[in-house]
Chain A
Amino acid sequence: MPDTAWHIIEVVVMLLLPLLMAGGLTVVERRLLGQLQDRYGPNRVGVMGEMQVLADAVKLLGKEDWIPPFADRPVFVAAPAIILMSVLASFAVIPLTSGFAVADLNVGLLFFLAMSSLGVYSVALAGWSSRSKYPLLGGLRAAAQLLGYEVFMGMSLLGVVMMAGSFDLSTIVEGQRGLWYVGPQFVGFVVFFIAGLAETRRTPFDLPEAESELVAGYHAEYSAMKFGIFYVGEYLGITLVSALMTVLFFGGWLGPILPGWTWFLLKTSILILVVIVVRAALPRVRYDQLMSFGWKVMLPLTLINLLVTAAVILAT
């Protein structure tokens, strides 16, 4: 029975923690971008603007939830739900600390990849079901982009899997005692970072919602909390990718003195901040550049990385 109770605690924590982080992230990002851009950012609600997320949520909930009459209603409604579910489900396999994960799945990494591949539907269907031109273009871009970068994302992780000899995230973390995989798997990390940016549709890969070209891209027709869910979904995605990078390349909960979960959260937060700084620094790439970069640079890079890793593992 305590087992069940413990499990429920795990589920609640892994459900609320990402949501809280994603919510906080909206404010942190805006504040940090403000600081980086020589302006304030939201600083009125609460002491330092940290309650802005509540204000935003209240505003979004209070708005009219408008579904365009020309939209494909069931798909239009389902699309935001898919992104939230797929991302939240992925958190189930993330080990917060030793033995603390909702599902200590032996194919945890594959589960994450499976869920992230389902996330594509959300964006593509949102674009399609709006039955409007800008969202359609955004949806098309998203489908091609996410599908392509998923390939490198998966392959960049295989080096880590080879070194750890497991798809199990806890085993992978345990395998990093002594040396984090970011060292030997640096290429894999870089590729995963880039692919992660592309998967979460962050600058410089925010083509599906490129505001200067497609206005808001795939969610142009969404309003109120449906839009909010896409928004939260994006931040959840960032949190997820950062958490996964922590687990795979930065030794997860491993660290001296402090308890494991603080190390995990600390490393994840730092990676999230890096993602935000990237947004502040880079312009957006063009669609064909994105594609050629993916297939002509990233793919060979991951393949070479895989070959070298395999060779080294075989040799030792």
Chain B
Amino acid sequence: MTVLFYIAGAVAVIATGMVITRRKAIHALLYLVVSFLALALVFYVLGAPFVAALEVIVYAGAIMVLFLFALMLIDAGRAEEARERDWMRPRAWIVPSVLSAALLAEVVYLLARGGVPGRTAAGAAAAGGAAGVGGAAGEAAAQVKAVGIALFGPYLLGVELASILLLAGLVAAHHLTVDLDSEDGETAGAADSGAPGRTRQKGGRP
């Protein structure tokens, strides 16, 4: 299990590295998906299958598809690629590299000391069930419940605030994309024809 954890972790790191170095946006996006999948595996190995599944469904499966959708609509051509190449000059790498190197050093130091709480949990999960899968079975159902209770118990305020934020975002998006004149026309048209009026197309237009 520990081996799996490190392999998945390595894949996640490498894929994320590829994300920032790819010139084509779609390729970068695909690497990001791979990175999410690796991350999901990491969660799974750490004994959190529910979180792993959510990671795949929500991030890899939904949000990234939306990104893909947007990218397909924009269709960054060669000009975009050239610009990306421009940004990828070695000089641009120096500062981010130094910063991430510092972070990396910290992580390595912590790992070497063996004092990461997560690692002991991973070890426990790995040790808990030789079958791994079966071992996590019992706790997962409880886990889902626990997540639910946590979200709607102590963190209720946070959840509600987040949903208000999302709602505000939704209203703003609607306001930005639908111009009000045509909406009036639509309702008038639907009213007088009596036939099932055509609704405004969603998502098909940028």
Contact = CB atoms under 8 A, between A and B. Distances in A.
Interface residues of A, number: 46
A106 B204 CA distance: 37
A111 B72 contact: no
B62 A150 contact: yes
Nearest to B202: A291
Contacts of A141: 204
B105 to A, nearest CB: 34
B1 interface: no
A143 B24 CA distance: 19
A287 B141 contact: no
Interface in A265-291: 287-289, 291
A110 B50 contact: yes
B69 A144 contact: yes
Interface stretch (B106-114, B129-137, B158-166, B171-179): B129-137
What does DSSP make chain B's interface, helix, strand, loop or mixed?
helix
Given A114-B57, A114-B61, A107 B50 contact: yes
A106 B131 CA distance: 13
B137 A106 contact: yes
B119 interface: no
Interface residues of B, number: 39
Interface string A72-110: 101100100000000000000000000000011111001
With a 10 A CB-CB cut-off, give which of A107, A114, A117 has the most chain B CB atoms: A107
Interface in B48-82: 49-50, 52-54, 56-57, 60-62, 65-66, 68-69, 71-73, 75
A287 B133 contact: no
Nearest to A124: B68
A217 to B, nearest CB: 14
B69 A143 contact: yes
B134 A144 contact: no
A167 B144 contact: yes
A72 B24 contact: yes
Contacts of A124: 65, 68-69, 72
Given A103-B133, A140-B69, A143-B69, A288 B61 contact: no
Kindly list the 5 A-B residue pairs having the minimum CB-CB distance in the complex, ordered from nearest: A117-B61, A110-B53, A114-B56, A288-B201, A106-B140
Interface of B: 24, 26-27, 30, 33, 40, 49-50, 52-54, 56-57, 60-62, 65-66, 68-69, 71-73, 75, 133-134, 136-138, 140-141, 144, 198-204
